[in-house]
Amino acid sequence: MINCGIIGFGKMGKIRAKAIETEGSGRVVAVFEVDKQIDSQGYRVFSSADDLLASPNIDAVFVCTPNIMNKTYTIAGLKGGKHVFCEKPPAFTAADVEEIREVEASSGKKLMYGFNHRHHRSVETMKNIIDSKKFGRILWMRGRYGKSVDDDFFQNWRSKKDMAGGGILIDQGIHMLDLLLYMGGSFDEIHALVSNLYWEIDVEDNVFAIMRNSKTGTVASLHSTMTQWRHLFSLEIFMENGYMVLNGLKTSSGTYGDEVLSIAQNRTTAPRATWEDEEKITFHVNTSWKSEITHFFSAIKNDSSIKIGNSKDALTLMKLIDRIYQKRGKHE
C-alpha cells in the first residue's frame, strides 16, 4: 500500500481522499488543513504542512492548496523524498515550472499534475480516434468553458491575484487549454484578448484566444469565461474526414449537464455530414478521479514514467498561458 498525506483538506482534498481509498492501491494516513474547523474524516491531522512532509511514514503527498502554495509544497515534497501529486495550476509561470523540474530531475520521485479532464472517458475516446487517424488530421478545434459566479466570489482566494495567479484562465480555462494541447499538439502563433468585462475584480473574467500550429496548420480557439450565466463545457474537433463534438461534463454538482459525445464521418456529397449521421454516446459515470490515481500509483509501483499530466506537459501549458497573459488589455 502507498501511504499518502494530503496538504489542504478542503473540497479537492476530500475528493482526492475518496479516490485514493476507492482505487485500493493506497491509503490516506494523514492530512493537514489550515482551517481547523474542517472535518478531518477521522484521518490523523498534522499541526503543520512541514511536519507532514517530514513524516517517514508517508510515501506520496497530494497538494490541494490555494494556487500560491502549489510550487512551494511540490518542491518541498520532492526534496523530502516524497512522490508528489499536485492540483493545477502547477505554478504561476513557466519559469516556476522549470525550477520545479530541476528539483524533480534530481529527486528520483514521481511528479504528476491534476489535469483531470484528460481522464474523462469521453476525452479518452476522442484521443483514441485522433490517434487512430480514422478521420485524418485535425483542421480546427474550438473550446468553450464557462461558469457563473456570485458575489461570494469576492471573498474567495480565487478572486485575489496574489493568491490565485490569475483569473478564469488559470482557474478553469487551463483545463480546456490542456485538452487542446493534448488533442492537437503545440501552438506557436497566439492571438488573445484578456479582459475584465463585468466583475471588475483583481483578476480577468474573460479570455478569448486564437492559436495556430504553423507546421500543421491546425487552428484552435478558446473562450474561458466567468460570465457564462449558465455553466457550459463544449469541445469541438473537426478533421479531414469527420468530426467529434463533446458537450457537457459529468461532475458531482451536475451543473455542466450530461456528458455527450457526438461523432460523425464525412459523406461523399455536401453537406459532408448531417445531424442524422451522428453517433451519440452519453457517459453516465465519471471515472476520471479514480483513473488519475491509478495512473499515479502505477508509475510509483512500477517505476514507470508519468504519461498523462507530467511536468513536461505542465511546462508546455504554462508557456502558453504566459503568452496569453501577455495580451492583457485595458479592461483587465
Q: What is the per-residue pLDDT across 174-218, written as a single tens digit (0 to 9) for each?
A: 999 999 999 999 999 999 999 998 998 899 999 999 999 999 999
In sequence order, which ranges of the chain are alpha helices (DSSP H)? Answer: 11-23, 49-54, 70-79, 94-107, 121-132, 161-164, 168, 174-184, 288-302, 311-325
Quick check: 79 pLDDT over 90?
A: yes
**pLDDT tens digits, 220-278:** 999 999 999 999 999 999 999 999 999 999 998 889 999 999 999 998 788 888 888 89
pTM: 0.95
Quick check: 330 pLDDT over 70?
A: no
Strand partners, 259: 283
| Of the candidate ranges 69-78, 225-234, 263-272, 296-305, the one whose mean pLDDT is the lowest | 263-272
For the chain, give the percent of residues with pLDDT over 90: 88
Residue with cell 459532408: 272
Return the pLDDT at 275. 80
Domain edges within the chain:
2-109, 117-286+318-325
Quick check: 106 pLDDT over 90?
A: yes
Give the CA dihedral 330, 163, 101, 178, nearest 10 degrees: -60
* CA neighbor of 315 nearest in space, from 89, 64, 38: 89
Where residue 329 falls among pLDDT bands split at 50, 70, 90? Answer: low
Return the pLDDT at 331. 47
- State the CATH class of domain 2-109: alpha beta
- What CATH number belongs to 117-286+318-325? 3.30.360.10
What's the rounded Cα separation, in Å, for the pair 298 and 309? 14
Q: Tell me 265's DSSP state.
A: E
Q: Are both 2-109 and 117-286+318-325 of the same fold?
A: no
Amino acid at 314: A
Whether residue 293 contacts residue 26, with contact meaning beta carbons closer than 8 Å, is answered with yes
Give the CA dihedral 55, 297, 7, 174, nearest 10 degrees: 150
